[in-house]
Structure 1
Amino acid sequence: MALLVELLAMAAAGALGWLGGRAAVEHVLAKGAELGGEDLRSAADVHALALRASLYFAAGIVALIVGRLVSARRGQVSVPAPLILPALCAAVAIGFSIQMGYGDPLHRAGWPGPAFAKGFAIAGAAGAVVLLLPWDPVALTGPFHAVLPALMVAAFVALGLFGSGTELAEDTRINLGGFQPLELVKLAFVLFLGHSLGRRAEKLRHQRDRILGLDFPRKRLLVPAVLVLLVLFASFILVHDLGPLLILSLVFLALFYVVTRAGGWVVTALVVVTLLVVLAVHVPAISGSPKVALRMRMWTDPWTNAQPNGDQIALARWAIAAGYVNGQGLGYAPPLALPAGHTDLVQAHVAEELGAVGLVLYLLCLAAVAGQGLVVAALNRTPERVVTAAGLSALLAAQWVVIFSGTTQLLPLTGVPVPFLSFGKTSTITFVLVAAMLARLAEDGRAREVTSELAELRRACLTVLTAVLVLVGAGVVVVIEEGVVGAERTSARGVITLLAPEPGYPHGRVTEKYDPRLEAIAARIPRGPILDRDGRLIAGSDEAGKRTYPLGDAMGTLLGPPEGVVLRPLWMLERLLAYKVRGYPERSDGHAVWLAREPEGGERLLLIVSGEEERPEDRTRAESMAGGDAVRLLPLPSPDFRPLVPLLRAGGAARDAALARVASDVASRTARITIDARLQQAASGILRRAAARGKAAAAVVMDVSTGQVLARAQWPDFNPGDEAFLKRLEDPEFATRDPKFTGMYGPWPDKTGLRGIYQGGSAAKLFTAVAAARAGLLGHGSACPAQAGPVFACVNRDAQGPYFIKPGWYAPVHDIALDSPHGHIDFEQGLAVSCNVYFSQLGLQLGPDAFQKLVDDGLEMGWGHGWYKPGKPGSRDLALTAFGQHAAMMSVSQAARLAGTVGSGGTYRKCPPSMELGAQCEQKQLLQDPHVIAPVLAGMEKVMTNGTGRGLATRPGLPPGLRVYGKTGTADSIGIEEEKPWGVEVGVYGKPHSWFLALAEPESNAPCAPTAARRLAFAVVIPRGGLGALNAGPAALEVIQAADKLGLFGAPAPGAQASPSPSPASPPSPSAR
């Protein structure tokens, strides 16, 4: 009855393999049709080949059933072994199903399934012969065991002279004339040890010494045993692969322990093998193989080794993670996602298609064959049979451990096949023979009398059995960790590698690859539209999926290109809103690489860092490695695919349905931002004209009451949908090819944000004003006061203009040369006439802590509080900072928020850089009493009536019905290296930066009220644009006029006509203002 159940189990495994192969073929056919190409088979040809392969597979199963039937019925005193051949058939059924679904059956060179089936048919026949012969493997090979070492040495020498490599390691020497003799060498090695050690088992067991609580073989035995391990290391040098060394060493370790039961030997052998592996890792030249050296690098650093083809472990771990619990389904794995998924990395392929469940099932099959083989060994009747059966089981377990550990990064990846799964006739035949020999050794194998010698061997075999089961159990844990617990983390990781050399890049280009499965999913989800605050289209997609941009070059820098061909900086909305419009964001902690220019062209990699911002210590290290060559930091695109992982796990046909649902749900991928497309278009046109008076121009318009940005424009800018621009992105040297495009004043950098931080000049006096109001120096009121704040003297003048100096300063601080001394003036007048002398004295009275505390509490200046240093108490630097020089640097966005802080009673508001409508904005109350800001508003109003901005009332003119509070700014700045392409001399003061900040509101609001309805903040900068009142000021007033015509202050003024919308409208947003 037990035999019948065993044979039925073998038949059932064969039937499941047949059905699995058929299902895999159906799914893989559709996959191959999608690839297209030439040299195709027809579907009918594929089905015919699949049927023939299935018949081969069935023939192998039938042969084993017949052999087992005859062997079991012939045996009289057999060791029960009902699991070995059913588990073998189940494991091969998994292999057959996987191989039939791998690759592309429509193309003649890309489908391993039929060849695998033919190899198993041969293996099944060979296994049946072993079972049918009247002699067991020990008796059969006994007369020839003395010649086995010579055959093994001959095989290694032949491989060293004539061997060839595998798909993943071409320069290893594993293949010889179409087969892998190393697999047969391993079998011969086990049979030789079975005879040699079995015959000497009793003597070896008694040759032990106890040291430190462990039994060690005596020196005359231990030294030769260690020498065997060293000789095996020579095999690594000969064949350029670590796998045979590890496998044969583990087999020898196990068998020498079986015959000696010396725990000290196990420790010694493990130490020796570990030292040899460490030597191979740290001195990879020993192998003479670049591929082996690469595998050592991949083992120690699988994700950032930056080596050509250094992504093999990453590819395997992506596949395991993609399978999750139940897998993608037979035949559903992408055909090109896992090279060598039919050979070295086949376990990863099993995990991808059958999930952690399928791979664990394979491990259980393996444990059943090896475990029951060790039981057969433990219960057998002669020492030779015991050691041989133990060796066969140890070989099976060692082979699996080595390649499984390489696939999962526990050990270096090697080129050895996976038992019962890998494509390759030699390995299939070898391991089917191993299982058949174990089953044959069970026949008539039971010991009729258990001698003390057999009892010792039995205990040793059971110890090895425990070790094997522990290893398989650990493998199960690793599968669950890699395929389930850590699957999402692994799927979302990128691997940095080098592309193949190309013209201009002889060393190849550094790139970061991501799981191609997730990239394919992302490519099938159309990008959603970006709409303005009222539903007007800012970015959309046409029917072909091409991105369209109705605003053209009015907003290109802010939007950025649609795809991450190059790293899109953090300000670009197509990146920031990717989580919304694409369903996934970009990582903020992605990698960047330091590169050095090569004299012959291209660049070489120096080091890899985390984060996109340059750090001084990284630059120092890169320059020390570059040997004088120019270096640069290149951030790498870093999509965060984690939100797409649920779609990956849907698997098979279910994923297609899920993707279709996601793709059709455009509403969920529609992003609305706070920008008003009409105002953005108008501001862009104004800045285009204003930039002619300097090197560039930038402007920001902000709603004071909410902090929302209504316009954020610059010039020069670019059209992100322009074909010429998109072609430019494909240039490997995009970042450095054209400094006029990617440099400081070019279209690529965001001149409204961190790439547009300039000296603030007198516009930054508003920062000092807020600090003074916070300190209580200005008084307060609910209306515009006639006088406010401390009075300071501006009475001295020299050839450079009015000045102020303190004892110990190396030079005075000056007002503009055209000014006369302003006399004894209060704060309101000092702000109106923008008196540097006044503000330097005000800053000295405030002290540096007032400035520093304001930055620390959230009012941004320059690059943040870690950078901001206003100067020491009483210092000239502090005086300079107070009137807009030294530490007073800001971007136009920071300037708009500064003006907004003044216009909101001291409340600082900052919305996220994505400007998404409805997103929560940062809000900090910097002034406890909002009314203390009234003197600042009074001074800004006086700027426009009889101060530095009074001329703007006539050119270009103030919009009727509006009240404008303003502040001009003219900032001296020394030329820097980045400005050279625009003709700015480095190291000397050039033309100053031109600034203008303003608040505008309906005249119906009370003047100088700390808060007011429909109050908007405006900031304009023209780098190297000259006087603020003459250049930035008129541009700002034009933007205010445009906002008024669009009705942003309420109904447009009488006679004013709103500008037409530059983009089509969608239904208005519920939160539209």
Structure 2
Amino acid sequence: MAMNFAFPLLLLAATFPLGLLILHGANPRFEVTWQLAAFPSLPILFFALISFVSARQGRRGDLLLVLVPSFLTGLGLLVVGRLRPDLVHRQLLWALLSYGGALVAYLLLKDYRILNRFRYLSILSGVVLLVLVALFGTEVNGARLWLTVASFQFQPGELVKLLVVIFLASYLAEYKELIGLYPVGGGRRRFPLAMRLGSVRYLFPLLAMWSLCLLVLVLQKDLGMALLMFSVFFGMLYITTWRVDLICAGAVSFAAGAVFCYRLYPHVAVRINTWLDPWKDPLGTGFQILQSLFSIAHGGMLGTGLGKGAPDYIPAVHTDFVFAAISEELGFLGGAAVLLLCMFFAQRCFKAALRSRDDFGKFLAFGLGITFAAQCLIVLGGVLKLIPLTGITLPFVSFGGSSLVTNFLLLAIVARISENAGIPSLSTSPGFESQWGGQVAMRRFAFLVLLGFLPVLLGSAYWQVLKGEELSVHKLNPRSRENLLLRGKILDRNGNILAESIETVDAPDGIRKYPGGEAFGPLIGYNHIRYGLAGVEASCNSFLLSAYGHSWPEILKKTMRLPVQGRSVILTVDRGLQVKAYESLRGRRGAIVVMNPKTGEILAMASAPGFDPNRLDQTWDSLVKAESSPLINRVVQGLYPPGSTFKVFTLASALDAHKIALEDRFTCQGSYSLGSYVIHDSGSIAHGSQDLATCLSNSCNIAFAQIGLRLEINTFYDYVRRFHLLEPLEDGISLLSAHFPRKRAMTDGTLAQSAFGQGEVTVSPLHMACITSAIANNGILMRPFVLKGQVVNEKTEIEPPPGEWGRPISSETADQVRQMMERVITSGTGWRAELPGVKVAGKTGTAENPHGPPHAWFVALAPSDSPRAVVVVLIEQGGYGGEVAAPIAREMLKEALKIKLQD
């Protein structure tokens, strides 16, 4: 190659580490040291020394073979320094050792054929290294790959691949005629099957050594290196035998081995299942590959620019997923350039093999070329979801000393083979190129290997160009739109901050902070790269990640690639009332919801125990495993038997349907038989003859069983639908639907039980708040909501309320039930909820619980003559509702009535 073409490329290779120096020199967190400042000269020095030695020895090698690794190594250092500034000095040291090791190997291997003498020593050394790793290695991500000596850690598998290729090259060079049966002098001849397979005596050592290496790699669970060794072995066997059927048989055997490993090793099964469907567990096993695809898609055609992307979201990005980082920040064109450089280096290795005059040099250069190309294709295929992830690194680019040193040794060997290609004295007899199989098979297989880079390039174009826009705005993609958006704030009804993103040097897209802590955890939820979205952060995600961008300050910020503030959302909750509710639940499991019955506004929604979204990294495992389920918002996601609080639903439904009248009376003798089923009142008290108001204030189960039977099954389910109890609610509140017995399976016994809130009936606290709100609001049920408005361009925009959800009961019925609920407070079980000077209407509930003490309930509304607040209190396994929940409801009503509300 002409020198005037080599040196410009050399200078371009040096610009990458120079860019690293500039990048980190502008970073106040990074210290520019002399090692970093001196590194741009290393590629030039390495190239100059190789050229000098080659010229002194009167040889002309392939200069591009040396330049491409320098180019890729410089790029790798730049990316590793961008991703992990704390590791860049270590990688610089490994790069220096790699350059030095390659120079030493280059000088010692003046005649590379010296390696031919160590055929069996090389393979035995490789086996010993693999056995040592299998016995004493360190396991990472399910695979045992590393050996640790003192504080030094290295990956022997990287060196083993060179040792195996040296053994294969030496053995095949000597026994190629016996194994492949090449006819000397050209021409193709038919041989009997036994002869075409070659002598088993010569094949056996080859198969035995290769199988031993493969077996140890499988035992180590290092399937990435096993796939690499498989590719190298069958590639070299093909150029020796020119037998396509052997390749097919090998592929079948590898597939069978993969199935075996899938069943034997759980982590292999996980990797394959994740490859097939990463969306099944996007925050668990599929997290890494999905973040890789999001990163690649975010880059688009031209990339975000160096340092402007967010590849840090990918776990182990500097080792296994460095190509994703390059694609995000340098775009499809930058990623394609890396692919082409890798393909070009493999092509130069194949060219050196084809030009070599001796058989050992041909096999060795070709085997090393297959090794490099296969490693690139395996790691890139995994990153682009073309094959399962294997955990191997991208040569010359990824962080890791073992890989870097090994690949520079590979470079030194191929460089010597390339230089000696034109020296006749190194040819062997008979010449390899004179046989019909060798040279043609080499060209054919080299073409197939290089063609393998095409699907990788197409895969990159698919994710980055065709699917780029779709993945960039995917709800699981943590990257803000164009990475220029600072997630909006979440505010309470009075403008107090409940969540905000604070921009820092380490996180230009903001660190999310939650000033409310535990009290707001289940309501606000979280926005976390590892654990996703929950609560209001999830339901209002589209608002928080959007900005109009019409103002001049926003346009200017986007032009300068500075973060623009996303829209803030205003909630209906009151911070003080929410804290009061959570404090009332401290030390208990339960829920409190406070609602404005006239509008549907949720004024407080507390669930205990809660969690602090500021500390998810430290507490996530314990939160997930906790038996108390702190991550669940019990107000909307907890379903409980409502007990006697459900009697207000039964009473309202029966009155509205005219199944009962105010003057009706019901007799309670302490028990009530329905066939074989017997209903008892608390303490088996006989209440005698009662009117409706007395039935409710006494909370008489027997009376309400009779009312339920009068209501009948069809009418009962009609009112269940009218109150929307079977409809999940997703409009800002993830409300589960309540559970009732199947209509076809409903009997008189189950209907009677359901009428007083027991049996199979389970509802959430918000369901009871909706029932109570309809009674408080003259029979009109307002749709509950938590999103009050937005802040757009520093202007508050109040959203109109969702409005009526329906009219389940008439105004007359609501008024009648409300008056009877007043008597529960004044002369019944709810007297502990009385407020001086305020008319309170309510209902106690003590719900039987098969898993322990009964759940304590209380529903209340006030003032009864013109209700402004509805309160529902649930205490899990709390005991009697009138004793435990009613006092809490009283205090919550007192605080809620202080809030100035708009109708």
Relative to the length of structure 1, the TM-score reads 0.62
**Counterpart check, 1:367 vs 2:346:** no
Structure 2 CA distance, aligned partners of 1:181 and 1:728? 39
* Cα 1:841/1:732, change in 2 over 3 Å: closer
**Counterpart check, 1:661 vs 2:528:** no
Structure 2 CA distance, aligned partners of 1:768 and 1:262? 82
* Cα 1:217/1:258, change in 2 over 3 Å: farther
* Cα 1:397/1:810, change in 2 over 3 Å: closer
Provide the secondary structure at the position in 2 that maps to 1:397. helix
* Cα 1:335/1:116, change in 2 over 3 Å: farther
Q: What is the deviation of 1:971?
A: 3.5
Provide the secondary structure at the position in 1 that maps to 2:563. helix
* Cα 1:242/1:207, change in 2 over 3 Å: farther
Provide the secondary structure at the position in 2 that maps to 1:995. strand
* Cα 1:179/1:921, change in 2 over 3 Å: closer
- Provide Cα deviations, 1:966-988, integer angstroms capped at 9, x if missing partner: 4x434344455455xxxxxxxxx
Larger Rg belongs to: 1
Provide the secondary structure at the position in 2 that maps to 1:418. coil
* Matching residue's letter, 2:752: A
Structure 1 CA distance, aligned partners of 2:581 and 2:865? 24
* Cα 1:1026/1:320, change in 2 over 3 Å: closer
**Counterpart check, 1:16 vs 2:33:** no
Q: What is the deviation of 1:236?
A: 3.7
Correspondent of 1:674 among 566, 569, 572: 572
* Cα 1:536/1:365, change in 2 over 3 Å: closer
In the other structure, the counterpart of 1:89 is 67
* Matching residue's letter, 2:572: T
Correspondent of 2:29 among 27, 31, 34: 34
Q: What is the deviation of 1:419?
A: 6.2
* Matching residue's letter, 1:995: F
Provide the secondary structure at the position in 2 that maps to 1:757. coil
* Matching residue's letter, 1:9: F
Work out whether residues 35 and 89 of structure 2, in 8 Å CA contact, stay in contact via their aligned partners in 1: no
Structure 1 CA distance, aligned partners of 2:843 and 2:247? 80
Work out whether residues 528 and 669 of structure 1, in 8 Å CA contact, stay in contact via their aligned partners in 2: yes
Q: What is the deviation of 1:707?
A: 1.6
Provide the secondary structure at the position in 1 that maps to 2:714. helix
Correspondent of 1:901 among 774, 795, 807: 774
What are the residue-to-residue correspondences of 1:398-409 with 2, within 5 Å?
Answer: 398-405=374-381
Work out whether residues 399 and 418 of structure 1, in 8 Å CA contact, stay in contact via their aligned partners in 2: yes
In the other structure, the counterpart of 2:793 is none
* Matching residue's letter, 1:56: L
What are the residue-to-residue correspondences of 1:257-272 with 2, within 5 Å?
Answer: 257-272=238-253
* Matching residue's letter, 1:661: P
Structure 1 CA distance, aligned partners of 2:25 and 2:611? 43
Provide the secondary structure at the position in 2 that maps to 1:474. helix
Structure 2 CA distance, aligned partners of 1:518 and 1:268? 45
Work out whether residues 380 and 442 of structure 1, in 8 Å CA contact, stay in contact via their aligned partners in 2: yes
Q: What is the deviation of 1:911?
A: 2.8
Correspondent of 2:755 among 868, 874, 882: 882
Work out whether residues 672 and 678 of structure 2, in 8 Å CA contact, stay in contact via their aligned partners in 1: no
What are the residue-to-residue correspondences of 1:278-677 with 2, within 5 Å?
Answer: 326=302, 351=327, 354-371=330-347, 374=350, 390-391=366-367, 393-405=369-381, 410=387, 413=390, 418=395, 423=401, 424-434=404-414, 437-438=417-418, 441=421, 457=438, 459-480=440-461, 528-532=489-493, 534-535=494-495, 579=541, 658=561, 661-662=563-564, 665=565, 668=566, 670-677=568-575
Structure 2 CA distance, aligned partners of 1:919 and 1:954? 37
Q: What is the deviation of 1:97?
A: 3.2
Correspondent of 1:998 among 842, 845, 861: 861
Superposition CA RMSD, Å: 6.2
* Matching residue's letter, 1:772: A
Work out whether residues 17 and 78 of structure 2, in 8 Å CA contact, stay in contact via their aligned partners in 1: yes
Provide the secondary structure at the position in 1 that maps to 2:90. coil
**Which structure is higher in helix share?**
2
In the other structure, the counterpart of 1:190 is 169
- Structure 2: runs of 5 or more not aligned: 505-510, 548-556, 727-734, 790-797
Q: Provide the identity percentage.
A: 17
In the other structure, the counterpart of 1:116 is 95
Correspondent of 1:765 among 647, 650, 653: 647
Structure 1 CA distance, aligned partners of 2:816 and 2:215? 85
Work out whether residues 355 and 421 of structure 2, in 8 Å CA contact, stay in contact via their aligned partners in 1: no
What are the residue-to-residue correspondences of 1:59-138 with 2, within 5 Å?
Answer: 59=48, 62-63=51-52, 71=60, 85-86=63-64, 89-99=67-77, 102-103=80-81, 110-113=89-92, 115-116=94-95, 119-120=98-99, 123=102
Provide the secondary structure at the position in 2 that maps to 1:934. helix
In the other structure, the counterpart of 2:596 is 703
Work out whether residues 907 and 925 of structure 1, in 8 Å CA contact, stay in contact via their aligned partners in 2: yes
Provide the secondary structure at the position in 1 that maps to 2:858. strand
* Matching residue's letter, 2:845: A
Structure 2 CA distance, aligned partners of 1:1025 and 1:158? 66
Q: What is the deviation of 1:17?
A: 0.8
* Matching residue's letter, 1:45: W
Work out whether residues 779 and 814 of structure 2, in 8 Å CA contact, stay in contact via their aligned partners in 1: no
Work out whether residues 384 and 456 of structure 2, in 8 Å CA contact, stay in contact via their aligned partners in 1: no
Provide the secondary structure at the position in 1 that maps to 2:861. strand
**Counterpart check, 1:971 vs 2:854:** no
* Cα 1:353/1:186, change in 2 over 3 Å: farther
Provide the secondary structure at the position in 1 that maps to 2:452. helix
Work out whether residues 432 and 438 of structure 2, in 8 Å CA contact, stay in contact via their aligned partners in 1: no
In the other structure, the counterpart of 2:21 is 25
Structure 1 CA distance, aligned partners of 2:643 and 2:196? 84
In the other structure, the counterpart of 1:1011 is none
* Cα 1:236/1:849, change in 2 over 3 Å: same
Q: What is the deviation of 1:232?
A: 0.7
Structure 2 CA distance, aligned partners of 1:942 and 1:309? 56
Provide the secondary structure at the position in 2 that maps to 1:15. helix
What are the residue-to-residue correspondences of 1:650-799 with 2, within 5 Å?
Answer: 658=561, 661-662=563-564, 665=565, 668=566, 670-677=568-575, 684=581, 700-712=593-605, 752-755=635-638, 757-761=640-644, 763-772=645-654, 776-777=657-658, 789=661, 793-795=665-667, 798=669
Work out whether residues 495 and 570 of structure 2, in 8 Å CA contact, stay in contact via their aligned partners in 1: yes
In the other structure, the counterpart of 2:507 is none
Correspondent of 1:822 among 675, 686, 689: 689
Structure 2 CA distance, aligned partners of 1:255 and 1:565? 45
In the other structure, the counterpart of 2:209 is 231
Work out whether residues 595 and 604 of structure 2, in 8 Å CA contact, stay in contact via their aligned partners in 1: yes
Work out whether residues 723 and 771 of structure 2, in 8 Å CA contact, stay in contact via their aligned partners in 1: no
Q: What is the deviation of 1:24?
A: 1.4
Work out whether residues 529 and 669 of structure 1, in 8 Å CA contact, stay in contact via their aligned partners in 2: no
* Matching residue's letter, 2:395: V
Work out whether residues 403 and 416 of structure 1, in 8 Å CA contact, stay in contact via their aligned partners in 2: yes
* Matching residue's letter, 1:229: L
Correspondent of 2:706 among 825, 831, 841: 841
- Provide Cα deviations, 1:540-597, integer angstroms capped at 9, x if missing partner: 89999996868x99x5576579897998996x66x5578489x57xxxxxxxxxxxxx
* Cα 1:489/1:224, change in 2 over 3 Å: farther
Correspondent of 2:32 among 43, 46, 56: 43
Structure 2 CA distance, aligned partners of 1:1023 and 1:414? 47
Q: What is the deviation of 1:844?
A: 1.4
Provide the secondary structure at the position in 1 that maps to 2:495. coil
* Cα 1:955/1:579, change in 2 over 3 Å: closer
* Matching residue's letter, 2:643: G
Structure 2 CA distance, aligned partners of 1:732 and 1:1034? 35
Q: What is the deviation of 1:202?
A: 1.9
Work out whether residues 760 and 969 of structure 1, in 8 Å CA contact, stay in contact via their aligned partners in 2: no
Structure 2 CA distance, aligned partners of 1:727 and 1:959? 45
Provide the secondary structure at the position in 2 that maps to 1:201. coil
* Cα 1:975/1:102, change in 2 over 3 Å: closer
